[in-house]
A and B are shown apart, each in its own frame.
Chain A
């Protein structure tokens, strides 16, 4: 059974970089899927951040593209999110998940991790 688990600091200061890692267990990150991040501010809706294929091809939300980087570490079976120059508006629950290629099928999700941006 595939499992995804987010990890990283729960508190980040304004203007700093938010860094999260999603560890994939029970399957290989090179198995031909997209590995993605979505976030949800408290009390608000879902927002797509971006996704990456194991080959390294990454796609980002145009609203975040100047600040975001998603990368893959195949040796650790992990993928990561970095969001630079954060503000309070980046406070959210961040979810990692898997998406099937050529489909909107997002089957396996992490539990989500709350990241608060505050000084």
Chain B
């Protein structure tokens, strides 16, 4: 059974940093692109970033470029999102999602809440 479990969310002050983790199991993690998607309270989904199987390609939404870094450790079956210079508008539930071979995201974690507030 495919499982994605996020962790690392919490309350952080504006300008602060946080590192999210996603533990993957039930599939060959190193064979898939992986993504982070976020959802602000009461708002829609927003794609944040994705990363190629070997980590050689990474793409970001404009609003997080230069502040967020996506990475992965295939030996640990883990995906990460390092978030720096956090802003109030980064407050959201952050989902880890697998990019399917057919495109789209076929499996999602349960999400982890990040709250940026003083």
Interaction A to B: no
Residues in chain A within 8 A of chain B (CB atoms): none
